[in-house]
Amino acid sequence: MAKRSAPEIRPRDADRSQKDILGAALAEFAEFGLGGARMDRIADRAQVNKRLIYYYFESKESLFLAVLEGAYEGIRNEEKQLNLTQVDPVEAIRRLIAFTWNYYIEHPEFLTLLNSENLHKARHLKQSKKIPAMHSPLVEMLADVLERGHKAGIFRAGVDPVQLYISIAGLSYFYLGNSYTLSTIFNRSLLGAKARVERLSHMTDLVLGYLVRD
């Protein structure tokens, strides 16, 4: 139980070290933002010599970019798992909303990371060669679902999939990302089990209520 019980022999492993650093940096940037993050703490979290961070990642800025790229890679990979092309349109919309909701719940770092990046006017994102190439499959999936729904006479016509995608994301994003201020203002728990169920239900009702023509 002693903090320093064993000298913790760490076998030299470049890949491992880099991954540890990235993981630690993700946590740190998510918790404190780019400006508030500390390289020292990242080194501590990664259990790595601070100098090693600079060895692999040139600077705080480029470390942040690497973390951001990893975050986009992460969500894109998950998105790919979500196959909606064969699914009934109404059910597909449900899954899409639930997916976004759950992903944000499970990856709160993603939200704060995006906030940081927007505070910095997407400065890092624009430098990235990787991220712009990682197209989200969701918009195309959504376009397909909307079209199938419309052809089946279920959904309304003329819905811009990009707008709807942004709306679906925004419904979860704002609720989760601002839960601290919102719950204080409304004096109401937003993240309890019951509240979550209600929110997901509301969002689904909202979007399907809009889409479905009867």
Residues that bind a copy of itself (CB under 8 A): 32-36, 112, 114-119, 121-122, 125-126, 131-132, 136, 139, 156, 160, 162-164, 166-167, 169-175, 177-188, 198-199, 202-203, 205-207, 209-211
Nearest approach in angstroms of CB 71 to DNA is 19
Q: Which two tokens stand for residue 88?
A: 């009934």
Position 210: which residue type? Y
Q: Which of 180, 179, 172, 146 is nearest to 160 (CA)?
A: 146
Is 54 a binding residue for DNA by CB under 7 A? The answer is: yes
Nearest approach in angstroms of CB 86 to a copy of itself is 26
Residues 6+ apart with CB under 8 A from 52: 17, 21, 43
Q: Which of 45, 7, 50 is nearest to 28 (CA)?
A: 45
What's the full length of the chain, in residues? 214
Nearest approach in angstroms of CB 122 to a copy of itself is 4
What distance lies between CA 41 and its chain's CA centroid?
Answer: 23
Position 21: which residue type? I
Given candidates 23, 27, 33, 52, which one binds DNA under the rule CB under 7 A? 52
Pick from a copy of itself, DNA, none: which does 136 bind, CB < 5 to 8 A by kind? a copy of itself
Interface contacts to DNA, rule CB under 7 A: 10-14, 16-17, 37-40, 48-52, 54-55, 59-61
